[in-house]
Chains A and B, each alone.
Chain A
Amino acid sequence: MRRGWIQLGLIFLAPLACLSAASAQQLRAPAQVTAGKDFSVSTNGSGDGSFYLIGPAHAAKREIKLGGEVQVRGEEIEKAGRYTVIACAGSQCDSATIHVQPDAASRLSLLVHPSRVRVATPNAISAVAFVFDKYHNLVFTQQPVNFEVTSTAGSTITASRPSSDGVAWVRLTSASKEGPAKIAASVGKTTEVRIVRQVASDACNLRIKAQPNGKRIVVETDPVRDCSGNAVPDGTVVSFTQVGPNGKTTVDAPVKKGVARVELPAAGPSRITVASGVVTGNELSVGGRP
């Protein structure tokens, strides 16, 4: 009979004991904290226990006294994201989730494409800025990002774009004058700069002149420029075509010091034309009508 009472007592007391043990490890942790900032987690109960902190770039275990505050140092939570804190007493564990938010926006990663672009090309340049905090966490809350383009002539164009999901971007038209363009993006006090080289576009208004030189004709272009007046780079190929009594001859010559020059045979009346890429220039008749 007495043994029966003891068994009955155990049946009722065991769940209470378990409940008490479970509540002993109850954790109270903040739902959100800021990256790099110290915070504390409070535990209930008494005696020795283990405390775990597991996050995106961190995992640690330490022994604690239950019933007190567990201090978490800012350097343990520099990476934003989801952290799990766990306190265990023996085999009984309790856990909580903490979201670590990024610190203030203070860094930018700026991607600018292309690094070399033809002048006066609409929407040819793209600038993409990713916004980070000082711990390299992407900052997803909206931030004003200022883009600034400074050309060689010193003129500056600015545009402000709010970041969305940590990114802000703009498309830009290249300037009409060749030379480097400085593209800057800034958030707060941080500025990132990239240089885009703007180069002359295709040749425009291609003109040639011819001069007899014994049994040959020297044909030379005027300084070869694009439609905005920028000198095309040396090495740009210019094609000279001569149609005469001996048929059709085409000679390619690179631009050197701004002009392209060839010597063609003076074999009776002929017609000479010039082209560079898809652009054609004027036509000359030499040695009388062909």
Chain B
Amino acid sequence: MIRRLPLLLCIALLSVPLFHVSAEDGLPKVELSASNLQPRPIEDLTSKSVPRDYAHAWQTMAQALDSNRVDLINGYFTGFAKEDLTSRIEEQKKANIHVRYDDRGHKLEALFYSPAGDAMLLRDRAQLEMQIMDGDKVIDREQLNIQYMVMMTPGADRWLVRALRATPEEHR
């Protein structure tokens, strides 16, 4: 056992950065289906960047709503989605409320991609745990299977969330 100790130490040391990368990555899982997309077919690059950027949007939104930091939503939100989140975060801060999400993944379905490629409408079926907190006290905890309608538009180097709205399942 003593002879194996250096080997075990090496494994332990090597595994630390691996865990760190995984923790730093921390992006929610997003799967995109574009089989029913119309009228414009999705490009290869877009089919990779939309789920990646949507995952980043959720990650930053969750961090912003938990820490009540408006600056965190600048990267992946624009238009009304950004205005709405900004307003909510400012009001959360005033009321000493914050919301914590445990994100268990998103199934994105692309519904409409404009002919000029300047807007995409998607439906997201998300699995989340949401905790609403007043200071340190949890005042509500919910397990959610929730449907969102999402509008994304291309920015300089990424797709941005322009509208994000939870809808009742019977919407479609």
Knowing A32-B168, A52-B97, A61-B134 touch, does A165 contact B121 (C-beta < 8 A)? yes
Tell me whether A169 and B39 are in contact (CB under 8 A). yes
Tell me whether A99 and B167 are in contact (CB under 8 A). yes
Which residues in A have their C-beta under 8 angstroms from that of B167? Answer: 81, 99, 140
Which residues in B have their C-beta under 8 angstroms from that of A79? Answer: 84
Partner of B84, one of A57, A93, A126: A57
CA–CA, A138 and B168, complex, Å:
14
Partner of A126, one of B115, B132, B140: B115
Stretch in A83-91, A190-198, A234-242 with 4+ CB within 8 Å of B = A83-91
Tell me whether B149 and A91 are in contact (CB under 8 A). no
Whether A171 is near chain B, meaning CB under 8 Å from some CB there, is yes
- Nearest Cβ distance between residue A224 and chain B, in whole angstroms? 31
Partner of B134, one of A52, A113, A126, A136: A52
Residue of A with least CB distance to B89: A59
Tell me whether A167 and B115 are in contact (CB under 8 A). no
Knowing A54-B97, A57-B87 touch, does A113 contact B118 (C-beta < 8 A)? yes
Whether B165 is near chain A, meaning CB under 8 Å from some CB there, is yes
Knowing A58-B91, A60-B91 touch, does A88 contact B139 (C-beta < 8 A)? yes
Q: Contact flags (1/0) for A57-71 with B, using CB distance below 8 Å?
A: 111110000000000
Most central of A59, A80, A91, A113 by chain B CB within 10 Å: A59
Tell me whether B115 and A113 are in contact (CB under 8 A). yes
Knowing A52-B132, A140-B149 touch, does A171 contact B171 (C-beta < 8 A)? no
CA–CA, A113 and B118, complex, Å:
10
Whether B8 is near chain A, meaning CB under 8 Å from some CB there, is no
Q: Contact flags (1/0) for B96-131 with A, using CB distance below 8 Å?
A: 110100000000000110111011010100000000
Interface size on A, residues (CB 8 A): 38
Whether A276 is near chain B, meaning CB under 8 Å from some CB there, is no
Which residues in A have their C-beta under 8 angstroms from that of B165? Answer: 56, 80-81, 137-138
Which residues in A have their C-beta under 8 angstroms from that of B163? Answer: 138
Tell me whether A86 and B114 are in contact (CB under 8 A). no
Whether A82 is near chain B, meaning CB under 8 Å from some CB there, is yes
Size category of the B interface is: 35 or more
Most central of A56, A80, A126 by chain B CB within 10 Å: A56
Whether A95 is near chain B, meaning CB under 8 Å from some CB there, is yes
Tell me whether B114 and A165 are in contact (CB under 8 A). no
Whether A166 is near chain B, meaning CB under 8 Å from some CB there, is yes
State the majority secondary structure of interface residues on A: strand
Which residues in B have their C-beta under 8 angstroms from that of A206? Answer: none
Whether A243 is near chain B, meaning CB under 8 Å from some CB there, is no
Partner of A166, one of B87, B118, B121: B121
Residue of A with least CB distance to B163: A138
Which residues in A have their C-beta under 8 angstroms from that of B83? Answer: 57
- Nearest Cβ distance between residue B108 and chain A, in whole angstroms? 14
Whether B34 is near chain A, meaning CB under 8 Å from some CB there, is no
CA–CA, A60 and B92, complex, Å:
7
Partner of B114, one of A32, A95, A128: A128
Which residues in A have their C-beta under 8 angstroms from that of B4? Answer: none
Which residues in B have their C-beta under 8 angstroms from that of A91? Answer: 137
Q: Contact flags (1/0) for A147-167 with B, using CB distance below 8 Å?
A: 000000000000000001111
Partner of B166, one of A81, A86, A164: A81
15 more A-B residue pairs beyond the given contacts A54-B99, A138-B149, with a C-beta to C-beta distance below 8 A: A52-B97, A55-B88, A56-B164, A57-B85, A58-B87, A58-B91, A82-B166, A84-B142, A111-B114, A113-B118, A130-B119, A136-B80, A137-B165, A138-B163, A166-B121
12 contacts between A and B (CB under 8 A): A50-B134, A56-B166, A61-B96, A81-B167, A84-B132, A86-B140, A88-B139, A128-B115, A128-B119, A165-B112, A165-B123, A169-B39
Which 9 A-B pairs rank lowest in CB-CB distance, beginning with the nearest? A82-B166, A57-B84, A126-B115, A113-B116, A61-B95, A59-B92, A59-B91, A57-B87, A95-B140
